[in-house]
Structure 1
Amino acid sequence: MSDFKPCILIPVYNHQHAIGAVLDALRPFNLPCLLIDDGSNAACRHTLSTLATEQADWLQVQHLPHNLGKGGAVMAGLCWAKQLGYSHAIQIDADGQHHTPDILQFIHAAQTQPNALIAGRPIYDASVPKGRLYGRYATHIWVWINTLSLQIQDAMCGFRVYPLATSCALIEREALGRRMEFDIEVMVRLHWADVPIVQLATPVQYPLDGVSHFALWRDNLLISRLHAKLFFGMLWRSPRLIARWFRA
């Protein structure tokens, strides 16, 4: 497809110890890579700047002036990618938890359905904390309620291919959550906007550097508030969502 022009997008916040190994795993795919430094500490900023200088043939970095949260960094990166002329952004986390060889099947799915959001459906190993794992099931149920559909099997995996035209249009018209609730909200709202959702099974392990930025109380509170907000958004959309279900 001549108009299919993907890039890799990685939000980074203080993952200076893992990002080098992640980039080494990604380089063989011969795709341009955009790093979004989400207000990291001096050591991480230096690491990212050094990597971008040494690997300027495929790597660029944008330093945000202060920490926006994962969602804020991803949104900044998606808009940057669109400005650079890319059609799709393959988001992958900086901590090494995602299975990089699966990028090939994600790209193939995006080429086959270029208007769809391609998202990972995690297969966890024993390294995942059980509390995080069980907490996801509550989100699954709320997402099914708020979409009146079982189509979204997992709304929290950050391994995705975003179609930039529709994703950036959504970012421009909606005030989306800027932290860990972003992954859930953007997927539900894209579903509401009738953007196809394709989910692919992919192994996920706990971060290589042991650093997780999920703040248990803060982010669970933000996610709970998001579910409530989406519920009321679903209510007035419900006739259209139900009609879509019957058509399907």
Structure 2
Amino acid sequence: MEMKASGGPVSCPCRPSCEGPTADCDRTLSTPQRVFKGQGNAQEVVAALPLFDGILPEVLNRLLADSATISRRRSTLLFGAGDEADCFYIVLDGAVKLFALTQDGRESIVEIFGPGTSFAEAAMLSTGRFPLHAEVIEDATLIRVGRRAFLYTLHSDHALAYRMLAALVKWNRRLAGEISDLKELTPWQRVAEFLLAQTPATEGRVEVLLPFNKEVLASRVGIRRESLSRVLGRLRVLGVHTSGNAIRIDDVNLLRRACFEAANGRGA
């Protein structure tokens, strides 16, 4: 399937293809109906993104006319801070981390994106430069959304532009709130809240499989790797037990109540 945009023919974003042979690309997708780990096919994943909520399929096709589906291996750097933001990404499977480097060279993870999420839209639409680094942390299949057709479509449809701007503002508010929460919570609360966010259960025993290793988890919640072991040890009294990347919570409600009481000054 081919689409037309200003400047000639371009690929449909949901047609699996690779941008070209690269050292870090090891998979060639064979069908646009490939299922991505329970997320549905690529078209369904894209249409479900909050950024594209309520947008008609034909408009979505115009927005994504300069897009391609790519595969990248773990540890591949997608872009560095300061690079030109000529695209943004949609994650079909795998995981990608956005991170900054501290003055002493340590990574500080800002966000981790898994299947059914998108990132770097704000950089492409505003400053034109990526403010952070992005690295694949689990082998990933991504849609790389090019800037040309996307911006052309927004410039020609102001109502669409306002709608997408509102979606971006909502995401930025959520991120700002999360950063604020991290500053106020103690290390054990940060870890506990993260674990609770990994399960929809509200009571009883649950098993949680971390979507990434503990080093990434530590950076994600804003603590040092060596501190994470102490925090997990402290959480054992609240029924949290670890084995590799597997976490068992004996009583979800107990852990949730402990977090609530600590946040309201009634717990340690």
Q: Work out which structure has the larger RCO, using CA pairs closer than 8 Å and 6 or more positions apart in sequence.
A: 1
- Is the radius of gyration larger for structure 1 or structure 2? 2
Same fold per superposition (TM over 0.5): no
Report the TM-score, using the length of structure 1 for normalisation: 0.28
Q: Which has the higher strand share?
A: 2
More helix by share: 1
